[in-house]
Chains A and B, each alone.
Chain A
Amino acid sequence: MNPRKIIIEPVTRVEGHGKVTIKLDENGKVSDAYLHIVEFRGFEKFIQGHPYWEAPVLVQRLCGICPVSHHLAAAKAIDQLVGIDPENLSPTATKLRRLLHYGQVFQSHALHFFYLASPDLLFGINAPAEKRNIVAVASENMELAKKGILMRKFGQEIIKALAGKKIHGILAVPGGVHKTFTKEERAYFLDGIKIPNIDTMIDWSKEIIDFMKNYHLENAQWIDNFAAYPSNHLSLVDKETGALELYNGRLRSVDFEGNELLNIEDIEYRYHFKEAVKPWSYLKFPYMTKYGSANGWNRVGPLARLNTCKYITTPLAEIERRIFKSTTQNKPNNMTMHTHWARLIEMLHCAELMKELLLDNELMATTDLVRKGTPRTKGIGIIEAPRGTLIHEYHTDDKGLITKCNLIVSTTHNNEAMNRGVRVVANEILSEKPEITEPMLNQIEIAIRAYDPCLSCATHALGEMPLIVQLKDYQGNLIDEKIR
């Protein structure tokens, strides 16, 4: 047998456009596997020359799924340019921004679980391709689909109420927020008249976690082992307590056994991270400088966050975290497919946090919404976006025009992790097989999909959804092609 090359392009049911190449040697064994990110948009460059206050508005255009995350990360950085650190933002502004953020995480996680991931879980990895979509989920499990739709809608309605619209709205301004919350807006989320209320969101979040726990019991062999491998884990944690923290905290990394690798002030990130580049991808490979590119890469996102935090502040999610952690005897969880489970626990956490904030009268204060301090020329904003740690850094000149911008997007942190997952799965399912089937290739995608990668964010553009598989010999000649 000649060496062969398998190409999956584009990868489906992820946000954006990616390609997988798997090389097989003359014995049919996987010799290498890559996830290529083949888009390029260059926001870091073209933001240069724009006034600093435009950053939270412009940079969120990176994405149609998580614009709020970019809006808030940029806003945190821009606050510093007007002399306001996160601790000095007014309580009302902080709470409004947090509510926006939790609504965003809630809706994004709902989108991923119900629309993108659930077909794999409900129908199995060998299900025909035409069945692996939300329409098939709706046909076979109407209630699940309906809840998924309404949970995403709830998060989006929170975003609309605060930012004016569901996509690319604006809440944050330098040093604060430009609007407050009204009694009528609050009632909309509490009374359950027009949409299911926040208590229902909490109940449904618990239900879907129960679904996941049952799924785990019935499919432990697969879900515990599929695409599993040891890694470091990185996220923000609460500065004082080490609890799960999505909006503002310290950066903490632990290795696969739980040994602490990093625990730093978030704004010191630049002294502790570097980004490697590889010729076959537009996506960079961040790593912790101290440990080098081979050992210093991290996973980020829901699984990493439950590995780095010491506990969760909201009671129901904390109960679920403890159950989740018991599967690994309280050690870090390196089982990639458990990311879905972790994501659902975060949904419950966000629902609980949203309820706390919706009942907080300070949210409706009409004064002290914006603060100003002594202007600076550098600002760094770091938040936990749905997919993981998101870093925005801006430098300005004395006229307030942006001279430098650095963005490390969540999916970028997961670059090495996703490549590792592709290699692990390719080795397990493709090596020495006489025939490469479509379900086999779907498993490669499942390994990537667990990270909910936003390839649009990481480089940044939208892509079509067909799957083209090409078999090539070692000289690059096309042997066979299948189009889904």
Chain B
Amino acid sequence: MKKLDNTLIIGIGNNTRQDDGLGWCFLDALVKNGFNEEKLLYKYQLMVEDTDLIAKYKTVFFVDANKTALNEGFLIEKLTPSKKVSFSTHAVPPNQILNLCETIYHKKPTAYLIKIEGYEWDFKIELSKKASENLKNAIKAFIKEF
């Protein structure tokens, strides 16, 4: 089993809306690849109280579906905290969660956003073919790099 002691991986999305489930499918794929499940978190959206959670980790990955085109079908980018506020109680962007974490807990986990391009968003529990392909490539790259 591949242990993720100081690392948390958060899959964001909704697997009943086709490619919006890419974040969750990424976590499923990690489990199949032997990663320990305790450090994999499935979420519909990020909320303010997730600040408390990520403050406990050295490294955090956020994995989410992306509606706009990405060159390789996925992109892994390093995140920096954002002071911009587009606050809703229903969803908070990862970079704002990082900012809150730094402000309240004085913790700066190294954070990455893994964007995976999706195409279909209907009421269905199945990824589109192209999104599945992007997912495979994203998993390969993640395992290779990290």
Known: A135-B96, A138-B104. A115 touches B48 (CB 8 A): yes
Report how many A-B pairs have Cβ atoms within 8 Å.
52
- Residues of chain A lying within 8 A (CB to CB) of residue B85: 130, 133, 135-136
Shortest distance in angstroms between A10's beta carbon and chain B's nearest beta carbon?
11
How far, in whole Å, are A478 and B48 apart by their CA atoms in the complex? 38
Tell me whether B83 is interfacial, beta carbon within 8 Å.
Answer: yes
- Residues of chain A lying within 8 A (CB to CB) of residue B88: 462, 465
- Residues of chain B lying within 8 A (CB to CB) of residue A111: 89
- Residues of chain B lying within 8 A (CB to CB) of residue A465: 86-88
For chain A, the bracket of interface size reads: 20 to 34
Interface string of B28-52 (1 = CB under 8 A from A): 0000000000000000100011011
B49 touches A135 (CB 8 A): no
| Chain B residues with a Cβ closer than 8 Å to the other chain, count | 18
B89 touches A138 (CB 8 A): no
How far, in whole Å, are A263 and B48 apart by their CA atoms in the complex? 41
Enumerate A139-175 residues with CB–CB distance to B below 8 Å.
139, 142, 145-146, 149-150, 152-153, 156, 167
Tell me whether A262 is interfacial, beta carbon within 8 Å.
Answer: no
Shortest distance in angstroms between A463's beta carbon and chain B's nearest beta carbon?
9
A64 touches B100 (CB 8 A): no
A145 touches B104 (CB 8 A): yes
Enumerate B73-114 residues with CB–CB distance to A below 8 Å.
83, 85-90, 96, 99-100, 103-105
B104 touches A142 (CB 8 A): yes
Tell me which of B44, B90, B104 has the highest count of chain A C-beta atoms within 10 A of its own C-beta: B104
A138 touches B103 (CB 8 A): yes
Shortest distance in angstroms between B30's beta carbon and chain A's nearest beta carbon?
20
Tell me whether A457 is interfacial, beta carbon within 8 Å.
Answer: no
B52 touches A150 (CB 8 A): yes
Tell me whether A116 is interfacial, beta carbon within 8 Å.
Answer: yes
Given contacts A65-B90, A149-B52, 13 further A-B contacts (CB under 8 A): A15-B89, A65-B89, A115-B87, A116-B89, A133-B87, A134-B100, A135-B83, A135-B85, A135-B87, A145-B103, A149-B51, A167-B44, A462-B88
Chain A's closest residue to B45 (CB) is A64
- Residues of chain A lying within 8 A (CB to CB) of residue B100: 134-135, 138
